A and B are shown apart, each in its own frame.
Chain A
Amino acid sequence: MIETFLWLLGYQFAGELLARSLGWPIPGAVLGMLFLFLTLCLRKGIPDTLRHNVPRLMTHMSLLFIPAGAGILAFWPLLAERPLAMAAVLLLSTLATLLISALTLTLLLHRQKSRKIRS
């Protein structure tokens, strides 16, 4: 477990340092994820400690969003000012994003498949 956290925090640390030194508005953890992914591609395998511990860690990812979810309490007065319009905007735009992303990907994957069959 110690080694797992050394890996994960180390890559987050590197991502954080890079983002800050370049002044990018991108979270260090996202850069850390890309660095770790590239490392795994280069070394062509996952270290045992990560292979063993990470899946268990991921099953409880939802827990980590509960504090932010409760944060809505702090913004409630602002959100409740125009409750119906607010709910409509968030609901409709999230639905549109889901729908268009899924349709685009399905179409492109389908085209790719039929092209492969033809060739």
Chain B
Amino acid sequence: MTPTLYEWLRQSPLTGIFLTLLAYRVALSVSRRYHGHPLANTVLVGAGLLIVSLLALGLSFDEYFRGASFIQFLLGPVTVALAIPLYNNLARLKRSAFAILSSIVVGSVTGVASAVLIAVAFDMPPQIVLSLAPRSATTPIAIGVAEAIGGIPTLAAAFVIVTGIIGAVLAKPLLTLLRMNDDVVLGVATGIAAHGIGTARVFQISETAGAFAGLAMGLTGFVTAVVAPLLVHFLLS
């Protein structure tokens, strides 16, 4: 490739958009080929393929993100759209509102407390512990919370993504193992533990699970923003 052509490839937003769509399309095929096996998760495979191709092409994340930011931008409107499946499940939501809200509070507290306690047990430095605390919340909330309690915002964002992928991969097998086959339970637990990435995953399993995951994700964000600073202060003092 000539230097000017390579320069264009690194500068153009087209590269990032095209590579992301291509990686996702291949990940979809892999997921279908293995009949939706948890490890064939589309975010995991897609991001893995993308990392490999960025390294192969010698592109930095910033260069890639020039185009990929357009795709990431759509997360906003799609989050708003979660209101529709939720409304379709209004009857079930009304019937179990108390149980769902209670488990979201319990789950948010567990999300923060388990990360802090386990990280302290592994003797992690305080800044890392504080960046781990909000990892069950969605990225923008986690960044805000990490900043407020003295963690490293960008590191917190990375923990959020890894948490989401782990949750998306493990949720269904874990609940099947425990013989919990209710779509509402799958959805709420995944939304609490694995925010948007988990929500995207359970949407592939059922619309009901996806709707409840979306609701749980949103509320877990609220609760984490309120509870994390208090809980961290209490646990670390």
**A contact set with B: CB distance below 8 Å:** 5, 8-9, 11-12, 15, 25-30, 32-34, 36-37, 40-41, 46, 50-51, 54-55, 57-75, 78-79, 82, 85, 88-102, 104-106, 108-109, 112
Alpha-carbon distance between A8 and B76 when the two chains are bound, in angstroms: 8
Having A66-B23, A112-B96, one finds 13 other A-B pairs with CB under 8 Å, namely A12-B76, A36-B84, A61-B203, A63-B42, A66-B71, A67-B72, A73-B51, A73-B54, A79-B162, A90-B159, A93-B163, A94-B194, A96-B110
Give the interface SS of chain A, mostly helix, strand, loop or mixed. Answer: helix
6 A–B pairs (Cβ distance < 8 Å), ordered by A: A58-B85, A74-B62, A98-B174, A99-B178, A102-B175, A102-B185
Q: Within 8 Å of chain A (Cβ to Cβ): is B78?
A: yes
Residues of A within 8 A of B16 (CB): 67
Residues of B within 8 A of A51 (CB): 84
Question: In the complex, are the beta carbons of B64 and A26 less than 8 A apart?
Answer: no
Contact of A64 among B71, B148, B171 (CB under 8 A): B71
Alpha-carbon distance between A30 and B219 when the two chains are bound, in angstroms: 9
Alpha-carbon distance between A108 and B167 when the two chains are bound, in angstroms: 22
The interface centre, meaning the residue of A36, A57, A102 with most chain B CB atoms within 10 A of its CB, is A102
Contact of A67 among B68, B79, B192 (CB under 8 A): B68
Known: A66-B71, A70-B68, A104-B103. A92 touches B158 (CB 8 A): no
**B contact set with A: CB distance below 8 Å:** 16, 20-21, 23-24, 27, 41-44, 46-47, 50-51, 54-55, 61-62, 64-65, 68-69, 71-72, 74-88, 90, 96, 98-100, 102-104, 106-107, 110-111, 114-115, 118-119, 122-124, 132, 135-136, 138-141, 144-145, 148, 154-155, 157-159, 161-167, 170-171, 174-175, 178, 180, 182, 184-186, 188-190, 192-194, 196-197, 199-201, 203-204, 207, 210, 214, 218, 221-222, 225
Known: A90-B159, A106-B185. A70 touches B118 (CB 8 A): no
Shortest CB distance A24–B (Å) = 8
Question: In the complex, are the beta carbons of A46 and B84 less than 8 A apart?
Answer: yes
Which chain A residue lies CB-closest to B218? A30
Residues of B within 8 A of A46 (CB): 84, 87-88
How many A-B pairs fall under 8 Å by CB?
A: 296
Which chain B residue lies CB-closest to A9? B77
Question: In the complex, are the beta carbons of B107 and A70 less than 8 A apart?
Answer: no
Which chain A residue lies CB-closest to B136? A97
Alpha-carbon distance between A59 and B222 when the two chains are bound, in angstroms: 25
Which chain A residue lies CB-closest to B21? A63
Question: In the complex, are the beta carbons of B138 and A30 less than 8 A apart?
Answer: yes
Contact of B218 among A34, A57, A74, A99 (CB under 8 A): A34
Alpha-carbon distance between A75 and B73 when the two chains are bound, in angstroms: 21
Alpha-carbon distance between A32 and B140 when the two chains are bound, in angstroms: 14
Alpha-carbon distance between A102 and B189 when the two chains are bound, in angstroms: 5
Alpha-carbon distance between A101 and B170 when the two chains are bound, in angstroms: 14
Alpha-carbon distance between A9 and B79 when the two chains are bound, in angstroms: 10
Shortest CB distance A64–B (Å) = 5
Question: In the complex, are the beta carbons of A70 and B54 less than 8 A apart?
Answer: yes
Known: A94-B193, A108-B103. A68 touches B139 (CB 8 A): yes
Question: In the complex, are the beta carbons of A68 and B188 less than 8 A apart?
Answer: no
